Chain A
Amino acid sequence: MTNQVIDRIRDALRVVIDPELGYNIIDLGFVYDISVIDGAVRIVMTATTPGCPAIRFLEEGVANAAARVPGVRSVDIVMTFDPPWTPSRIEPEVRASLGFAAVN
């Protein structure tokens, strides 16, 4: 049941994009961890650049999207830059379409 909720949350988060890269944060590898205990969701996520003004909106967008999933009672977002995000976290087909160098 918990895994199903996590999968649904993961799908719901695909509506949240990084505005600069233009792809959803799941395929970009921004979401480090999703855990659910009795409907209380905790999402550990990152972004490309600390201090970027988009971060607040990414957090709110993730909270909004996750809160709409049936079975979710509360959402706690943890934004972290440890470890820092690197393009190696991007899904390979997305990385290719973004024209990324095959580094890191």
Chain B
Amino acid sequence: MIGASISRWTMSYFAAALAWLFVALALMVAGLGFPAVHLASPDTLVLVHVVCIGWLSLAMCGALFQFVPVLVARPLFSEKWALPALGLLTAGLVSLLAGFLGLGGRLPAWLWLLPLGAILLAGGFGLVVVDLGMTAWLRPVGPARFVLVGLASLCATVAFGAMFAFTHAGWAGSIGETILANGVPLHAIAGLGGWLTLTAMGVSYRLLSMFMLSPDVDDRKSNMTLAAGALAIAVAVVGGIVAIWLVSGLNVVLSIAAVLGLATAALYGRDLIGIFSGRKRRQLELNTRMAVLSFVSLAAAAFLGVVLVLTGAFAAHVGAFTFLAVFGWLSGLVLAKLYKIVAFLTWLEAYGPVMGRTPTPRVQDLVAEARASKWFVIYYVAVWFGTLTLVAGQPSAFRAAAAMMTIGLAGIVREVIRTRRLADVAGSLRLPNGACTPCLLCARA
């Protein structure tokens, strides 16, 4: 296969993901969950899962349904599974959140909603893993290997999560109680580090090379980065389970995983420098400039983590560290690339079919970067400010930062909708004969 098809449901995943991000920010502005209450509280569990499943995982799945076929130059294993997976994931997340709210006394304590949510989420993620895994497995080259490790980490994350959900409902016995009491860091590392971070790294290699016309990262280098990352996750998950089994505490395992994680970030930084220095397009588009801010956030999170560990304050400030990693690195990168992916796919849908018959605009004609850049800057400044408020222990100021993030996000989403509507394309080129405005929430079959 020389060219991938347009993924029909990627826009639907993006729309659902952005809706969940608004929900998460609304919760933060309202002061629900951390930092108003402690990290393990039911309200924080609601917030964390809205962000990690609703926002980041749905956005990542939507992007992967489009880009795994590009990475491996093979068609998707099954186009038909994407929509049922989205339905299962959404239903599962709603059920899980209702269970957490019951756990915290905000809803009736129907704790069976937690295992029900876990089963639905396992079904949805199962479809995603098999679909993307079977696609990437056929030609596991370069960045596709990151996706495979990310999918394996997703399986581990879901397995831990399901165990926790069954335990909360009282259906997992003493083994479940033991794993719930000790295994939450492993669940978080597998999800944020393995699934989301390693996958984001892999996809970023390809997207950055593609849009800047850089040579692909040498396989030996990216394999080294992946090996360090995969080892970090394997040590955390496998070593962590063994440590829990032996009742020996997680400190040694987590310390080794942290060092390997730091090495992964450093190697990724080396690979990025190679991509940027080898690029043929010298002028950087907005999506790339904003992705650079996410890389800066990753470096800042790594630095913050080291400083906190060295000063013995990591446990007290793990929330600030995680917030910067989740909203600066992961969310920043996803928003920057989503802005570009939407423009690119919208162009293909609107103008691809009439190419050769009539003049068409460029992808860049669909966006107004000068106007959009301020929303990204507001978002990033708010995230960095929010991190400082968490370190300083200022929950009220944190809510102000969350409000500022919401403003930035609203601006970005408005720009994305304008792109989808072809609102910024000059009148003469906007709708040539045969072209039509794409559907906002999905690609036409």
A interface residues with partner B (beta carbon < 8 Å): 13, 15-17, 19-22, 47-66, 68, 79, 81, 87, 98-101, 103-104
| CB-based contact A50/B352 at 8 Å | no
Taking the nearest CB of chain A, how far is it from the CB of B396, in angstroms? Answer: 45
B 348-368 to A, binary, CB cutoff 8 A, 1 in contact else 0: 100111011111101111000
Q: Which residues of A contact B283 (CB under 8 A)?
A: 99
| B5 contact set on A, CB distance < 8 A | 53, 56
Q: 7 A–B contact pairs at CB < 8 A?
A: A19-B363, A47-B3, A50-B2, A54-B352, A56-B352, A61-B357, A98-B281
* Chain B, Cβ-Cβ closest to A24: B359
Would you give the shortest CB distance from A27 to chain B, in whole angstroms? 13
Pair B4/A53 contact, Cβ less than 8 Å: yes
Say yes or no: is B91 at the interface (Cβ < 8 Å to chain A).
Answer: no
Q: Which of B60-88 contact A (CB under 8 A)?
A: 66, 69-73
Select the residue from A51, A100, A101 with max chain B CB neighbours within 10 A: A51
Query: Do the beta carbons of A19 and B2 come within 8 Å of each other?
Result: no
**Taking the complex as formed, is B280 at the interface, i.e. its CB lies under 8 A from any CB of chain A?**
yes
Whether the Cβ atoms of A51 and B356 lie closer than 8 Å is: no
B348, A51: Cβ atoms closer than 8 Å = no
Min Cβ gap A62→B in Å is 6
Count of chain B residues near A, Cβ 8 A: 37
- The minimal Cβ–Cβ distance linking A69 to chain B, given in whole angstroms, is 11
Is the beta-carbon distance between A51 and B69 smaller than 8 angstroms?
yes
Instruction: Note all chain A residues with C-beta closer than 8 A to B39.
Output: none
Whether the Cβ atoms of B348 and A60 lie closer than 8 Å is: no
Let me know if B211 is at the binding interface, CB within 8 A. yes
Q: Which residue on chain B has the smallest CB distance to residue A88?
A: B280
- Please give, as numbers and ranges, the residues of chain B lying within 8 Å of A15 by CB-CB distance: 355-359
* A50 touching B355, Cβ below 8 Å: no
Distance A60 CA – B353 CA, assembled complex (angstroms) = 8
| B3 neighbours in A (Cβ, 8 Å) | 47, 51-56, 58-59, 79
Inter-chain CA distance A90–B261, complex, in Å, is 42
> Residue on B with the closest CB to A57?
B352
Bound CA–CA A26/B213 (angstroms): 18
The answer to whether the Cβ of B159 comes within 8 Å of any Cβ in the partner chain is: no
Q: Which residues of B contact A58 (CB under 8 A)?
A: 3, 355
A68 to B365, CA, bound (A): 27
B195 interfacial contact with A, CB 8 Å: no
Whether B348 lies near A57 (C-beta < 8 A) is: yes
Between A13, A19, A66, A99, the greatest number of chain B beta carbons within 10 A of the residue's beta carbon is seen for A19
**In the complex, residue of chain B having the shortest beta-carbon distance to the beta carbon of A104:** B280
CB of A19 within 8 A of CB of B213, answer no
Q: Are A16 and B356 in contact (CB under 8 A)?
A: yes
Contact A51 B355 (CB under 8 A): no
Provide the residues of chain A in CB contact with B1, threshold 8 Å. Answer: 51
11 more A-B contacts (CB under 8 A) besides A21-B362, A51-B72, A65-B356?
A15-B359, A20-B344, A20-B362, A51-B69, A54-B344, A58-B3, A61-B355, A64-B356, A79-B2, A99-B283, A101-B282
A17, B360: Cβ atoms under 8 Å?
A: yes
Give 1 or 0 for each of B1-20: 1 = CB within 8 Å of chain A CB.
11111100000000000000
Max chain A Cβ within 10 angstroms of own Cβ: one of B2, B362, B365: B2
Expressed in whole angstroms, the Cα–Cα distance for A49 and B67 within the complex equals 12
In the complex, A23→B211 CA distance in Å? Answer: 15
Query: Smallest CB–CB gap between B281 and chain A, Å?
Result: 6
B363 in contact with A51 (CB, 8 Å): no
Tell me, yes or no, whether B55 is within 8 Å of chain A by CB. no
Chain B residues within an 8 Å CB radius of A57: 348, 352-353, 355
Docked-complex contact B280 and A87, CB < 8 angstroms: yes
For A53, the chain B residues whose CB sits under 8 A away are 3-6, 66, 70, 345, 348
Would you call B375 an interface residue if the criterion is a C-beta within 8 Å of the partner chain's C-beta atoms?
no
Minimum distance in angstroms from A64 CB to a CB of chain B = 3
Tell me how far the C-beta of B114 lies from the nearest C-beta in chain A, rounded to whole angstroms.
39
Taking CB atoms, residues of chain A closer than 8 Å to B362 are 17, 19-22
Contact A52–B358 (Cβ < 8 Å) = no
Provide the residues of chain A in CB contact with B418, threshold 8 Å.
Answer: none
B347 at the interface (CB under 8 A from A): yes
